Structure 1
């Protein structure tokens, strides 16, 4: 019994050492160029901080990934969150300002109809409680995360069933 406990303790110790010492050496921090995304339709840019990227990922996974896992749209697989689909929407949604506007007051892909009763948004926070406490800074982080993914996950982001 003592040998078994010693073996388990040794395994746990090795796992902890590997997790906290070795793995960070292999993680790659996103450089400034990767963290720079389009801010508005005038092609101004913004460089997100690493904290904003991490926060955006966490918030996206908590609030959006149920329907948009991997940048797809489960309810309409023809329209994803990759830059091409975002840029073809009306209004274009390939920048921070317009994505935030969409998360506050979503419209159909052609921009003609409000879909706030169907899509989680700040406007419909009473229906979608996960949106209730999101601040403008939270929305900026989520929008930035969405716009970074085509650079990080490349063809996987919005790639559909092939990858997810």
Structure 2
């Protein structure tokens, strides 16, 4: 019985050590400045800090991923969060400024009608509680996350059923 306990204990120790080492290595991916640099406006770029990148990812997962897992739009699969689709919206949403504006006052893809009553936004925080506590910095980091993802996962971001 003692030997069995020793074998199980050692096996568990080896497994946990392996798991911790591999888990920490997989989370240790450093994003260089080129990946963290995204358009702030149509003429100016900004480089996000590693902390902003982490925060943006966490906020996106907690606030947006119910409908936008992997950059898709579950309610309208024709419009994803990929850079091309964002650039074709009116006004263009392929910059942090454009995405923050959208998160405050969402409109249809052609920009003609407000959709604040059906899309979470700061404007409609009364009906979308997750939006109530988001600060300007939070919106900035969420937008940064959306714009970094195509550089990290390429065509998978916004790729829809093909990938998710």
TM-score by length of 2: 0.92
Classify the secondary structure of the residue corresponding to 1:37.
Answer: strand
- Could you say which residue in structure 1 is the equivalent of 2:41? 40
- Could you say which residue in structure 2 is the equivalent of 1:100? 100
1:41-62: CA deviations, max 9, x gaps?
A: 2x20000011111111110011
- Could you say which residue in structure 2 is the equivalent of 1:162? 162
1:61-104: CA deviations, max 9, x gaps?
A: 11101100000001111110000000000000000011001001
Classify the secondary structure of the residue corresponding to 1:158.
Answer: coil
Q: 1:18 to 1:117 in 2, by over 3 A?
A: same
- Structure 1 segments of 4 or more deviating over 6 A? none
CA displacement at 1:5 relative to structure 2:
4.2
Classify the secondary structure of the residue corresponding to 1:33.
Answer: helix
- Could you say which residue in structure 2 is the equivalent of 1:110? 110
CA distance in 1, matches of 2:36, 2:14: 34
- Could you say which residue in structure 1 is the equivalent of 2:30? 29
CA displacement at 1:140 relative to structure 2:
0.6
- Could you say which residue in structure 1 is the equivalent of 2:151? 151
Unaligned stretches of 5+ residues in structure 2:
none
CA displacement at 1:126 relative to structure 2:
1.1
Unaligned stretches of 5+ residues in structure 1:
none
CA distance in 2, matches of 1:118, 1:110: 16
* Equivalent pairs, count: 163
Classify the secondary structure of the residue corresponding to 2:38.
Answer: strand
- Could you say which residue in structure 1 is the equivalent of 2:18? 18
- Could you say which residue in structure 2 is the equivalent of 1:91? 91
CA distance in 2, matches of 1:10, 1:106: 56
Q: 1:77 to 1:22 in 2, by over 3 A?
A: closer
Report the aligned-residue RMSD. 1.6
Q: 1:21 to 1:78 in 2, by over 3 A?
A: same
